[in-house]
Amino acid sequence: MSDLTRLSAAALAERLRSGEVSSVEATRAHLDRIAAVDGAVHAFLHVSDEDALATAADIDARRAAGEELHLLAGVPIAVKDVVVTKGVPTTAGSRILEGWLPPYDATLVGRIKAAGLPILGKTNMDEFAMGSSTEHSAYGNTHNPWDLTRIPGGSGGGSAAAVAAYEAPLAIGTDTGGSIRQPAAVTGSVGVKPTYGSVSRYGLIALASSLDQAGPVTRTVLDSALLHELIGGHDPLDSTSIAEPLPDLVGAARLGANRDLSGVRVGVITELQGEGYQPGVLARFHESLELLQRAGAQVVEVSCPHFTYALAAYYLILPAEASSNLAKFDGMRFGLRVEPSEGPVTAERVMGATRGQGFGDEVKRRIILGTYALSAGYYDAYYGSAQKVRTLIQRDFAAAFEQADVLVSPTAPTTAFKLGEKLDDPLAMYLNDVATIPANLAGVPGLSLPSGLSDDGLPAGFQVLAPAKADDRLYRVGAALEALLEDEWGGPLLAQAPELEVAR
């Protein structure tokens, strides 16, 4: 394997800048790696070899001509298939969008292109980002590079697996209830859900508009900060976009790498540990807390009593919004169109046939749930109550952030489970997100980084949460913990992953 694929994005960018390697070489190395391992991992739904190499060649030429380029120019990236890319297939993991070619780029894709990052392709995901294992993709499973018989997390399992399998140094994910952080946790990668409104949602295929947020998936905390700064910031095309500039994320990550957290108050959330959490996940979590303390942080325990109801509130609010967002997939406007096998071809019957065939079981389940929760007579009891719980959760966060600068918990209660293990049990699947969902309900940012290997030899995740618009705190604390842990491990955790068998 070419060692170009083993470099962090920051290190690769450095070599590109110095002229030691070209973007064409770096991009080709990643495309070769995809060709070698993606048959087994299946992180990608679509690989854009030609476009990626053309961008790389353009960047090399511009660099040679002395042009001032973006720091990450020439570093390849993978993009979750829920983000629209002009002229490149975008399915959101659903049959209903098979064959659809978007006529425009999402804002974040526009920024990636303007900065000159070759886009390697589109990554696999649970259909419309509903799931925690990527098994709800209509296009087959993605496999966890640590153990191919296990799930890579979800919904963004493709992006996390691509990064963990060295198919891409950078990837884009989206997080509505944990779909960046949980896949990062179970694959030993780093993932960040930014503050709601700090990365444009223009061009994301909406799951639940009040919860969705795009963000970075990488192998290092610094790489996430670099990518976050590239895609973030105000966008007039997104009405919920925050007008102020982002805090200095890269500066915070560099500061954190000094391993000094004196004066930083770290709040351990009482409700996000204990029953239901795997002992090895908790053990790694507590060891990480000790490291933070040794670095000067003051660790306190804080209670967020309403977090216990977060999952229940989420599974009313999300289906409600999703049922409305998915109404546009009607067989008339995008992708698949199925005519009824017999009888008259009316608009309503085409809609029924298209949605019946185009949507998978989990999507149908949530549309039915959401439609029910919003229906007259039930609205106040279900949707209305869930919104009240959401407010209580926001108040819990506000109170907790009076006592602590960041809050922490394990990212997911367990390590990667076996493919198929939870497929027939939606509630067991939903429970994977107990620790990640509160942040989406409150709009606050969250980061997951690897905390070590659990008793089963699989990666566990450590989550850091910060107040809205204080994403820089995630990077300072995350980079400090990453540095301290790597001192213990003698290098990155991913270096301990078994080598994948390479197809020739």
Is 135 a residue that touches ligand GLN (CB under 6 A)? no
- Residue nearer to ligand GLN on the CB measure, 24 or 412: 412
Structure tokens of 414? Answer: 């367990």
Q: Least Å distance between CB 314 and ligand GLN?
A: 7
Is 131 a residue that touches ligand GLN (CB under 6 A)? yes
Residues in the chain: 504
Q: Least Å distance between CB 206 and ligand GLN?
A: 11
CA angle 457, 215, 274 (to 5 degrees): 40
Q: Is residue 179 among the annotated active site residues?
A: yes
If binding means CB under 6 A, how many residues of this protein chain bind ligand GLN? 14
Is 415 a residue that touches ligand GLN (CB under 6 A)? no
Is 176 a residue that touches ligand GLN (CB under 6 A)? yes
Q: Which of 132, 137, 179, 198 is catalytic?
A: 179
Given its phi and psi angles, is residue 35 left (phi above 0), alpha (psi -120 to 50 degrees) or beta? alpha
One-letter amino acid for residue 238 of the chain: D
Q: Which of 132, 155, 198, 454 is catalytic?
A: 155
Choosing from 167, 229, 433, 472, the residue that interacts with ligand GLN (CB under 6 A) is 433
The stretch near ligand GLN (CB under 6 A) out of 129-137, 266-274, 450-458, 464-472 is 129-137
Q: Which of 8, 22, 23, 80 is catalytic?
A: 80
Write out 100-150 in H/E/C secondary structure.
CCCCCCCHHHHHHHHCCCCEEEEECCCHHHCCCCCCCCCCCCCCECCECCE
Choosing from 207, 246, 311, 480, the residue that interacts with ligand GLN (CB under 6 A) is 207
Nearest-angstrom CA–CA distance, 446 and 472: 11
Choosing from 22, 91, 132, 142, the residue that interacts with ligand GLN (CB under 6 A) is 132
Q: Is residue 80 among the annotated active site residues?
A: yes
* Residue tagged 């070769």 (tokens): 32
Nearest-angstrom CA–CA distance, 484 and 477: 11
Is 142 a residue that touches ligand GLN (CB under 6 A)? no
**Residue burial 19-45, b: 16+ Cβ < 10 Å; e: rest:** eebbbbbbbbbbbbbbebbbeebbbbb
Is 124 a residue that touches ligand GLN (CB under 6 A)? no
Binding residues for ligand GLN restricted to 274-333, rule: CB under 6 A: 318
Structure tokens of 236? Answer: 């007039």
- Residue nearer to ligand GLN on the CB measure, 89 or 177: 177
Which residues does residue 83 pair with via DSSP β-bridges, in sequence order? Answer: 204
Binding residues for ligand GLN restricted to 177-206, rule: CB under 6 A: 177-179
CB 445 within 8 A of CB 194: yes
Choosing from 34, 47, 92, 129, the residue that interacts with ligand GLN (CB under 6 A) is 129
Give the largest Cα separation in the chain, rounded. 73
The DSSP element (H or E) to which 217 belongs, if any, is: strand 214-218
The stretch near ligand GLN (CB under 6 A) out of 34-42, 85-93, 123-131, 280-288 is 123-131
Nearest-angstrom CA–CA distance, 444 and 157: 22
Is 107 a residue that touches ligand GLN (CB under 6 A)? no
User: What letter would DSSP give residue 484?
Assistant: H
Q: Is residue 422 among the annotated active site residues?
A: no
One-letter amino acid for residue 201 of the chain: R
Give the x-and-dash track for 47-86 against ligand GLN (CB under 6 A): ----------------------------------------
User: What residues are annotated to the active site?
Assistant: 80, 155, 179
Interface ranges with ligand GLN (CB under 6 A): 129-132, 154-155, 175-179, 207, 318, 433
